Amino acid sequence: MKEGLAENKVLILYILNKLQDGIKNDNLYKIVSSTNNMNYFYFQELITDLIESSLVGSFTNDEDTIIKITSDGQNALSLTKSLLPGILKLKADNIFKKEISNIAEESSVITEYIPKDEKNYTVKCRIVEKNETIFEVSTFAGSRDRAKQISDNWKNNANNIYPKIMSLLLDGDNNE
């Protein structure tokens, strides 16, 4: 059991070492669990152990918990990397490449709704590339349901909505 525990910690450090800016906790779990089939609670226990031993750090960024390897973690990884079987490294590398592009795409479309009071909400829809907001629109929603509907629609259709808004802003409506 101790070998599996150490191997899983090294796997987490191995993946985190590939990410300069860190990664959202949930996205790290997707990669780790796809690589080495572990449940969420066990994963959280490993992350907590790694944080307590200062091998990884965590910070909050726009309501998300970001996990990042520390320099102590990098040193520990260089000493323990040999614990990871080659096949596991290969699997982690392949899953990492696939998932990281999905994660980058996912994190570029952001929405949030903020209650003003029980019946009034402001919905903010953004597109972020390389940690910079390239598009943002804010609108009023008369109910929580409408705010959620706008938010969900933005998440699912931003790739269609954004070009239409930009076209209207740049050209106006040329059909009239």
- Identify the domain boundary among 80, 106, 132: 106
Tell me: do 86 and 138 sit in the same domain.
Answer: no
Identity of the residue numbered 10: V
Tell me: do 80 and 64 sit in the same domain.
Answer: yes
State residue 9's pLDDT score.
Answer: 93
Tell me: do 24 and 38 sit in the same domain.
Answer: yes
Tell me: do 61 and 145 sit in the same domain.
Answer: no
**Nearest C-alpha neighbor of 128 from the set 136, 116, 137:** 136
Model pLDDT for residues 66-77, shown as the tens digit of each residue: 899 999 999 999
pLDDT at residue 1 above 50? no
Tell me: do 17 and 73 sit in the same domain.
Answer: yes
Judge whether 117 and 150 are in contact, CB under 8 Å: no
- How big is the CA angle at 18 (ends 12 and 20), to the nearest 5 degrees? 110
Tell me: do 26 and 78 sit in the same domain.
Answer: yes
Domain count, the chain: 2
- Within 13 Å, how many C-alpha atoms sit on residue 120's CB side? 3
Tell me: do 98 and 32 sit in the same domain.
Answer: yes
Tell me, yes or no, whether 176 lies in a domain: no
* Per-residue pLDDT band at 3 (split at 50, 70, 90): low
Model pLDDT for residues 74-127, shown as the tens digit of each residue: 999 999 988 888 888 899 888 888 887 777 666 678 888 888 887 888 999 988
Tell me: do 78 and 94 sit in the same domain.
Answer: yes
Tell me: do 10 and 97 sit in the same domain.
Answer: yes
Tell me: do 17 and 100 sit in the same domain.
Answer: yes
Give residue 62's domain range: 2-106
- Token look-up 């669990």 returns 33
Tell me: do 102 and 114 sit in the same domain.
Answer: no
Tell me: do 162 and 119 sit in the same domain.
Answer: yes
- Identify the domain boundary among 106, 138, 159: 106
Model pLDDT for residues 145-170, shown as the tens digit of each residue: 898 899 889 988 888 898 888 888 88
The pTM (predicted TM-score) of the whole model is: 0.60
Q: Can you read off the two tokens belonging to residue 20?
A: 């300069």
Which CATH number goes with the domain that contains 79?
Answer: 1.10.10.10
Tell me, yes or no, whether 125 lies in a domain: yes
